[in-house]
Amino acid sequence: MVEKTVLTLEDIVDQRFVREVALSPDGRRVAVVVQSFRKRENDRVEHLYVAEVTADGPGPLHQLTRGLGHDGSPAWSPDGGQLAFLSTRPDDLDVAAGKPVDESGGDKAEDKAQVWVLNIAWGGEPRQVTRRAEGVAEFAWAPDGQAVVMASRDPTPEQAVYLKTIRDKKHPGPLVLNRVQHKFDGAGYLDEVQTHLFVVDVATRTERQLTSGPASERHPRWSPDGTSILFASNRTGDADNNERVDLWLVAADGTGARRLTHGDVGARGAQFSPDGRYVAFITGRHPENSYEVSHLALVTVAEAVSVENLAACVGVGWSTVGGVVPDALDGLDPVEAARVYPAPLARTPMRMLTDGIPGPVAGPLRWIDGAHLWTIAGDHGQWRVLAVDTAGASWQFIAPGERIGSVTALDWAGGTGVMIWDRSDTAAELWRVTDGGEASRLTAVHDQWLATRQVSVPHWIQFDSPTAGADRVEGLVFFPPGLAPGDASRLPLLVAIHGGPMAFDAPTFGFDEQYWAARGYLVLQVNYHGSTSYGEAFCQSIQGDWGWREHADVMAGVDFVVKQGWANPERLFCTGFSQGGIMTNWAVGHTDRFRAAVSEHGMWDYVTAYGTDDCHLWWQDDLGVPWQNQATYRRVAPESGVASIHTPLLILAGELDWRCPLTQSEQLYLSLKKRGVPTELVVYPGEHHAVTKPQRWRDRLERLDAWLARYGGIPVPDGHAPPTPVSS
């Protein structure tokens, strides 16, 4: 019998992440992307694998690509003989010419993904198909398998000169910013280069441009008969100030443009029906309101409206494009006054197919036949497979039936369905799924690793919200491995608050909560008001009124586990990342019950966040603009509780985080220092709003461990103390 141990920090680099699935047209094989860590190089790599789709139980994954680049977005050719993908690997034309190449693995900002093709029938090395200076964002096969359509940044000659100057490594030129959305986390400062569509012959590598002009075109898809290409585009002429993404069609030769939607949608994930008569897509009813449930919608291709000149069709179709916030409120509420969005002249003749759905439709969309499709949607703390009848405008969840995991990817082809089912006991694996919802496992990526590890399977809890009458709130409790609810007694509690807030905690395999449970903590996750998958009203209840309601739900969850006798009320701790960091900052200003807390990549002062983060539309739609509604900005920000903070707080931040900027953590840190509250600020150089490096992952967990142990948490194991500066 294999002796099992609990997870330790050394296990971080052994993790593998299964993501992105693509079924072959006959449904017999499935390509998948597997991400792993390289310990010595302190980085991640992504490679392509393929597995047989059988009913014989878990089978092996066969590795298709290697190297130090990032391989993803696999797509089978229509005949199944080739597999195309995007990769940041070295240019094979440079290799053939004997030019020196950088083997660092594609981690630099200037590395651009290109389309590569593997010949599945004959094998061999992948062949590079595109060589775009700015890389390829996405692509799709033509129905005849002879070409692909791609979306690629297409700078003008003047823009190309500018890009060269700012990318000069020795003497970079100044950044010249002229966009409202002038920055974005992970992407940096944004330029004005548009993305356009190109068709590339796979055999000859010759390309021709389909679209041009002052707007970007993304997410191209061929019609089943190959005569036209569907794409998404914001053509308001002011794309930074709204979320109005419409669907358009253009003939395969670049002529004959048509408009499918009319400015009242934020379309994504669009897919033709098998007969080409319909297009299904995902949209919210009010594109700028991110609290609303996103739905599956359907439009008829025959009702598309012809456009004489696509390039000139920018700013056309609205009575007003909006974008500029008026100086004078004229008696209007400041939030309503700031919602200056486009007013379309027409409404899209679409059918919403998922009315009453509890959570958002996430995609992808996969047609089963001409009247049925599958997608993934949220359902009370899980992502599940959703089957939709387009003729009857009805829907039902079909898989998984158990609340022990969440679906993270999905595909359908050749009468076969495949999903990635991420479970807390097995981690993410490939599963075959039938139209009746029966699931059978296809892979065993993590079995060897987890065979020697004890893991915690979360226990669902439900309790009354103290803020919303009849509303019930759900949460997940991770007990130390080997402990059942009946065995747990007065354990130290670590509350882990999820980000978003329009997100939710699902019963997946998360290393952090597994590690904390392995350390001996009782780990509590609460799907507080604002979380998705519990109905639109539940999520929208916090819009423009943040902090107190979510905090009350979290503390009600704490009270519940204390009342059960599981948690020690004298040893309560709190942490969270992003919105979880924000709510940790709020918590320490509104309760003294936590002995210590750790805030990761959080926010503090919303007035100064405006314009320094990348979320101006979110602020605008929730709170208006700060110069017209500063009192509300102050009231709902964690800084409102600064005078009440006594809890020792460790603050972790990324130097280049532009979602929750470093300046927010610095303000919080100095505020606590000035008041004599025990605090420490840790800044990770070069890091964005993410945890990208395995050494960073380990370091942050070591620091969290040590901080909690300092204030009554579980003692730190030998050798797990993080490096600290020597005080002078």
Burial of 13 (0-12, 13-18, 19+ CB in 10 A): middle
State the pLDDT at residue 677: 98
The dihedral through the CA atoms of 525, 531, 535, 541 has a sign that is positive
Residue 172 burial (CB count, 10 A): 10
What are the tens digits of pLDDT across the range 503-538? 999 999 999 999 999 999 999 999 999 999 999 999
Cβ contact 554:575 at 8 Å: no
Q: CA 125, CA 287: separation in Å to the nearest integer?
A: 44
- Better-predicted residue by pLDDT, 347 or 725: 347
- Better-predicted residue by pLDDT, 57 or 504: 504
Structure tokens at 487: 């065995």
State the pLDDT at residue 467: 87
* Lowest-confidence segment of 60-69, 157-166, 666-675 by average pLDDT: 60-69
State the pLDDT at residue 3: 81
Within 94-237, strands assigned E span 114-119, 127-128, 138-141, 147-153, 183-184, 188-189, 195-201, 207-209, 218-222, 228-233
pLDDT at 95 over 60: no
Which residue type, as a one-letter code, is found at position 152?
A: S
The average pLDDT across 297-302 equals 98
Helix 511-519 vs helix 694-710: crossing angle, to nearest 10:
40
What is the average pLDDT value for the chain, to the nearest integer?
94
State the pLDDT at residue 470: 66
State the pLDDT at residue 727: 46
pLDDT at 243 over 70: yes
DSSP assignments along 327-351, one per residue: S--TT--HHHHH----EESS----E
Name the CA radius of gyration of the chain, rounded.
26
State the pLDDT at residue 54: 83
pLDDT at 542 over 80: yes
DSSP assignments along 270-333, one per residue: EEE-TTSSEEEEEE-SSTT-TTSPPEEEEEEGGGPEE-S-TTT-SS-SEEE---PPPS--TT--
What are the tens digits of pLDDT across the range 632-687? 999 999 999 999 999 999 999 999 999 999 999 999 999 999 999 999 999 999 99
DSSP assignments along 46-111, one per residue: EEEEEEE--SSS-B--EE---SSSBEEEEEE-TTSSEEEEEE-SPPHHHHHTT-----S-S-STT-
Q: CA 530, CA 540: separation in Å to the nearest integer?
A: 6
Cβ contact 590:513 at 8 Å: no
Q: CA 524, CA 160: separation in Å to the nearest integer?
A: 51
Give me the half-sphere count of Cα atoms (radius 13 Å) on the Cβ side of residue 100: 2
Q: CA 726, CA 728: separation in Å to the nearest integer?
A: 6
pLDDT at 388 over 60: yes
Q: Which helix (H) or strand (E) holds 511?
A: helix 511-519
State the pLDDT at residue 110: 47
pLDDT at 391 over 50: yes
Structure tokens at 174: 């100044």
State the pLDDT at residue 241: 97
- Strand bridging mode 188-189 / 183-184: antiparallel
Residue 109's pLDDT band, with cuts at 50, 70 and 90, is very low
Whole-structure pTM value: 0.95
The average pLDDT across 111-137 equals 94
State the pLDDT at residue 728: 31
Within 442-539, strands assigned E span 453-454, 459-464, 472-478, 491-497, 522-527
Among 438, 435, 350, smallest CA distance to 388 is for 435
State the pLDDT at residue 121: 86
Cβ contact 98:161 at 8 Å: no
pLDDT at 608 over 90: yes
Report the Cα 667 to chain-centroid distance in Å.
28
- Domains of the chain (ranges; CATH) run 132-154+194-352 (2.120.10.30), 456-710 (3.40.50.1820)
User: Which residues is 413 bridged to in the sheet?
Assistant: 416
State the pLDDT at residue 103: 46
Residue 594's pLDDT band, with cuts at 50, 70 and 90, is very high
Cβ contact 436:398 at 8 Å: yes
Q: CA 391, CA 372: separation in Å to the nearest integer?
A: 8
